[in-house]
């Protein structure tokens, strides 16, 4: 790898949907390694940990998905679900069914993908699963991830958890009051819980104290041509609810390929509730009544995500007291 300057690193991080730091951190180094592989450069197969990663794996997932084969999310990781999709493809084209993407599979794939396209089956599957779960919160499994070890964030998560439990949802927190799991442990916890939605809460910081406001992030990668339909909708809903109910500046919603968003199987959203480096944001979040408003905005956004459009209400108008009625299937 030739030495990269800060501008090149920033450009690469921006293109890949990573945190733009200008530094070669472990995640950026891993992403550079993944970017060097193009489909056909090597044979791909399911391995013992660590699993094969790379842009070639993501392209394989994308091509199979466009042809209607279920490979799961396009995340650039050769896991069991992708192996199953490869076997189904091999069976359909009459070549050896071994789950390995070698020369014969790649040649068949490249030949057929020029003439077969199925739209965006992954997005359609995600939307269909979301719709089939219905509007009631009582049958939803929600994971709240108070990121880091910030007591204010943890308090917002607890206030949100209490409101959701009162509405009959099953709620899991990725951390308790005295532990601070790693990001990988939090991702594994969310995946093992069978979550319908994963909501990560965080307070950001910046070297300039003038940076302030709320922002939301969902899984999306321009490089791989993929984004989470449900994640994007929820990010937009919660961003609008928070900004309609508080005076936090609207820093908008953004697609990112952070591991927390990419590797969590359920639609996942990261919510930045303000900046610890900004006195105004910290003053707001230090007030219990403000944290209550944030918790209410989160719960309303979750309910709006599962309501049919004709049952939805204007941003900032739905109340917690409305939710039991609004969540009943008619």
Over residues 159-187, the pLDDT tens digits come to: 999 999 999 999 999 999 888 899 999 99
Q: Is the distance from CB of 205 to CB of 275 less than 8 angstroms?
A: yes
Q: Is the distance from CB of 77 to CB of 59 less than 8 angstroms?
A: no
How far apart are alpha carbons 317 and 302 in whole angstroms?
A: 14
One fold for both 6-119 and 127-326?
Answer: no
Q: So where are the chain's domains?
A: 6-119, 127-326
The pLDDT value recorded for residue 225 is 76
* Strand, coil or helix: 130: helix
DSSP label at residue 3: P
Instruction: Write out the DSSP string of 167-208.
Output: TT-EEEES--SS----HHHHHHHHHHTT-SEEEEEEEE--SS
DSSP label at residue 136: -
The pLDDT value recorded for residue 122 is 54
Residue reference for tokens 């739905």: 318
Give the pTM: 0.79
- Residue ranges of the chain with per-residue pLDDT less than 50: 116-119, 309-311, 326-330
**Tokens representing residue 156 in the block:** 């917002």
Q: Which residues contact 296 (CB under 8 A, 6 or more apart)?
A: 163, 245, 319, 320
How far apart are alpha carbons 277 and 126 in whole angstroms?
A: 37
C-alpha distances (whole Å) from 139 to each of 37, 119, 217, 293 are 42, 30, 25, 24
How far apart are alpha carbons 74 and 60 in whole angstroms?
A: 9
How many Cβ atoms sit within 10 Å of the Cβ of residue 6?
A: 11
Tell me the fold of 127-326: Aminopeptidase (3.40.630)
The pLDDT value recorded for residue 311 is 47
- The interaxial angle of helices 121-132 and 229-245, nearest 10 deg, is 60
**Tokens representing residue 276 in the block:** 């610890």
How far apart are alpha carbons 218 and 229 in whole angstroms?
A: 9
The pLDDT value recorded for residue 149 is 84
Q: What is the dihedral of CA 62, 68, 73, 75, to 10 degrees?
A: -20
Q: Is the distance from CB of 213 to CB of 281 less than 8 angstroms?
A: yes
The pLDDT value recorded for residue 330 is 32
How far apart are alpha carbons 109 and 59 in whole angstroms?
A: 11
For the purposes of burial, counting CB atoms within 10 Å of the CB of 259, is it exposed (0-12), middle (13-18) or buried (19 or more)? middle
In CATH terms, is domain 6-119 a member of 1.10.101.10? Answer: yes
């Amino acid at each position: 790898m030739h030495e990269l300057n800060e501008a090149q690193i920033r450009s690469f991080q921006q293109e890949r949907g990573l945190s733009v730091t200008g530094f070669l951190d472990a995640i950026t180094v891993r992403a550079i390694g993944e970017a060097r592989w193009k489909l056909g450069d090597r044979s791909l197969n399911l391995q013992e940990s660590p699993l094969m990663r790379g842009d070639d794996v993501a392209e394989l997932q994308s091509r199979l998905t466009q042809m209607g084969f279920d490979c799961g999310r396009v995340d650039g990781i050769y896991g069991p679900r992708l192996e199953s999709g490869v076997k189904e493809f091999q069976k359909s084209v009459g070549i050896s069914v071994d789950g390995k993407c070698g020369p014969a599979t790649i040649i068949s794939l490249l030949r057929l993908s020029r003439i077969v396209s199925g739209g965006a089956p992954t997005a359609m599957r995600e939307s269909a699963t979301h719709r089939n779960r219905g509007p009631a919160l009582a049958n939803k499994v929600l994971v709240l991830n108070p990121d880091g070890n910030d007591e204010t964030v943890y308090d917002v998560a607890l206030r949100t958890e209490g409101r959701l439990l009162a509405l009959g949802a099953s709620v899991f927190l990725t951390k308790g009051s005295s532990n601070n799991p790693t990001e990988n442990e939090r991702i594994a916890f969310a995946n093992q819980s069978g979550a319908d939605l994963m909501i990560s809460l965080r307070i950001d910081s910046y070297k300039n104290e003038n940076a302030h406001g709320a922002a939301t992030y969902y899984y999306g990668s321009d490089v791989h041509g993929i984004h989470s339909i449900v994640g994007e909708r929820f990010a937009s809903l919660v961003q609008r609810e928070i900004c309609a109910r508080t005076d936090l500046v609207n820093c908008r919603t953004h697609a990112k390929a952070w591991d927390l968003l990419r590797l969590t199987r359920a639609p996942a959203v990261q919510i930045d509730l303000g900046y610890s480096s900004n006195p105004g944001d910290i003053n707001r979040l230090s007030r219990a009544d403000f944290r209550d408003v944030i918790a209410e905005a989160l719960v309303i956004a979750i309910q709006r995500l599962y309501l049919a459009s004709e049952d939805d209400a204007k941003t900032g108008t739905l109340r917690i007291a409305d939710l039991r009625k609004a969540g009943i299937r008619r």
